[in-house]
Amino acid sequence: MERKNAWKTYSEEDISKLNAISAEYVKFLDNGKTERECVTETVAAAQKAGYVDLEQAIAQQRALNPGDCVYSDFMGKALMLFKIGKQPIFKGLNIVGAHIDSPRIDLKQNPLYEDTDFAYLDTHYYGGIKKYQWVAMPLAMHGVVAKKDGTLVNIVIGEDPSDPVIGISDLLPHLSRDQMSKKGSVVIEGEELNIIIGSKPLNDEEKEPVKAAVLALLKEKYDIEEEDFLSAELEVVPAGAARDFGLDRSMIIGYGHDDRVCAYASVNAILSIDETPEYTCCCLLADKEEIGSVGATGMHGKHFENAVAELVNATGEYSDLLVRRALTACRMLSCDVSAGYDPNFAGVFERKNAAYLGRGVCFNKYTGSGGKGGSNDANAEYMGKLRRLMDDANVNFQTAELGKVDQGGGGTIAYICANYGMEVIDSGVAVLSM
Ligand code: MN
C-alpha cells in the first residue's frame, strides 16, 4: 500500500501555486518565531480578510449570522478564527487546530549576571530540545517586557541583518576529551545554557562593569531596567531567516516548522473559504503544546470551550446543553507535524508506516508511545470518511506512526479535544530533523 510521491502528480500550474504558498509560508516562519508573533501575524491577516474581534461583538451584543467571521485572541498567545456556517452551532464545528509554540530557550526571571568579563543571561529551556544543538550558533531574542506602569515593550534582537546576535559558547575540540565521552543528553546540560550578551566594560564602573554596560544599552534602546526582567517573556531562538533547501529547492529549512507549518496551512485554509460554509469553521492556534498543553493558553485551558459558548449565545438561544452538543458534534483535524522518514536514521522507522516528505498530508490514527499510551486513537469510521473526502477531492495523503514501536513517541492536542467526544484525528506535514 505504498503512497505515491505527490511531486509526480503535479501539473505546472500546481507547482506555481505550491511555490506561491511556500513563499508565503517562509514569510510566516520569519515573522512568527514565537507564539505571540504568530498571533499578531494571524490577527492582522484575519482583519484584512474581514474578521472582527469576538470580544467587540460580545461587548456590542451583536448577533452573529451565517457568513460572519470573528476571531478570539486569547492573551495574545492563543487564537481562534471562526467563520459562521448555515447550520446551528450545536451541529458542531469543522475544526483545524495546530500549535504555535516551539521548543526554545527562555530567560530566567533573574537572568543577568557577569562572570570573568562576560555578561550572561541565565536561561531555562522550554520543551523538548537537544541541548547540544543550541551552542556555537547565532541566536536571537524575541519577546515582551511588561513594565510596572502597564506598558509592554516588544523586543526582537538578532533578526535584522544589521542586528548583533547572541549565543552560547561550546568547548573547543582540543579540550573536549571528557565532554565527548558523555551521554548526548548531558554533553551540554540545562544550567550550561548561558547566553553571552557582552564583553565590553563600562569605563567608569568598578563593580560588574560589563553587566553595567549591557544595562545601559537596554535602558537606552528599550527604556528597561534590570528589575523589568522580573516581568518579561523573552525567548531565545535560532537567528536568521528560513530559506529554500536542496539544489532543487524542494524543501524549506527554518526554525519552528513544528508546528507553524500546520498553523500556516490551517490559517490559510480558513481564510480561503469564500462562501458561507455549511457548518461553522474554526481554526484553532494553541500555545504550550510543547510542555503538555498546560496553562491558560494551552489546549487544556477553557478558552476554546468558552468561545464556543459565546458563539452559541451570539447565534441564537443559549443553553449549557447546546454548548455540550456543539462540542461533541465537532469534527477536527488536529494538525501537527510527523517525523519524516530519514534514510540516515532508518533504524527508528518502520517503513510501511512511516511519513515521507513529498507524499502528502499525513494522518496518524494514533500517536503516543509504548502501546499507544497517551494517544487519541481516532475512530476507524472517521478515518473512513476522511479517506473518501481526500480521494474525492484528489488530494494526496499518507498515514504513519511516529517511528517504530517502542522507539519513543509523542503527543499532540488531539486527545484533549477528543475529551469533548468530538471526532478528531492527528494530521500534518512530514518534517525532517524535527
Ligand atoms: Mn508539534
Question: Of 96, 49, 40, 87, whose CA–CA distance to 69 is shortest?
Answer: 49
Average pLDDT score over the chain = 97
Average pLDDT of the residues in 32-47: 98
Average pLDDT of the residues in 10-14: 96
pLDDT at 138 over 90: yes
How many A from CA of 428 to the centre of ligand 1?
A: 9
Q: Which burial class, exposed, middle or buried, applies to 297 when counting CB atoms under 10 A from its CB (0-12, 13-18, 19+)?
A: buried
Question: Of 410, 406, 417, whose CA–CA distance to 431 is shortest?
Answer: 410
Residues 6+ apart with CB under 8 A from 146: 152, 153, 228, 231, 232
pLDDT at 204 over 90: no
pLDDT for position 287 = 98
Average pLDDT of the residues in 345-371: 95
How many A from CA of 213 to the centre of ligand 1?
A: 39
Per-residue confidence band for 205, with pLDDT thresholds at 50, 70 and 90: confident
Residue pLDDT, tens place only, 247-295: 999 999 999 999 999 999 999 999 999 999 999 999 999 999 999 999 9
How many A from CA of 414 to the centre of ligand 1?
A: 11
Q: Which amino acid is at 212?
A: A
pLDDT for position 2 = 87
Q: Which amino acid is at 431?
A: V
Residue pLDDT, tens place only, 287-330: 999 999 999 999 999 999 999 999 999 999 999 999 999 999 99
How many A from CA of 327 to the centre of ligand 1?
A: 23
How many A from CA of 70 to the centre of ligand 1?
A: 26
What does each C-alpha distance from 280 to 86, 175, 187, 194 come to in angstroms?
7, 61, 50, 47
How many A from CA of 290 to the centre of ligand 1?
A: 7
What does the alpha-carbon distance between residue 40 and residue 158 come to, in Å, rounded to a whole number? 19
How many A from CA of 256 to the centre of ligand 1?
A: 9
Q: Which residue has the cell 443559549?
A: 318
pLDDT at 408 over 90: no
Ion ligand 1 nearby residues (CB, 5 A): 258-259, 336
How many A from CA of 228 to the centre of ligand 1?
A: 31
The pTM assigned to this predicted structure is 0.97
How many A from CA of 430 to the centre of ligand 1?
A: 11
Residue pLDDT, tens place only, 40-92: 999 999 999 999 999 999 999 999 999 999 999 999 999 999 999 999 999 99
How many A from CA of 43 to the centre of ligand 1?
A: 21
pLDDT at 169 over 90: yes
Cell matching residue 231: 516581568
How many A from CA of 303 to the centre of ligand 1?
A: 20
What does the alpha-carbon distance between residue 299 and residue 417 come to, in Å, rounded to a whole number? 8
What does the alpha-carbon distance between residue 377 and residue 391 come to, in Å, rounded to a whole number? 22
Average pLDDT of the residues in 183-212: 95
pLDDT at 203 over 90: no
How many A from CA of 410 to the centre of ligand 1?
A: 9
pLDDT for position 149 = 97
| Phi, psi of 126, rounded to the nearest 5 degrees | -125, 125
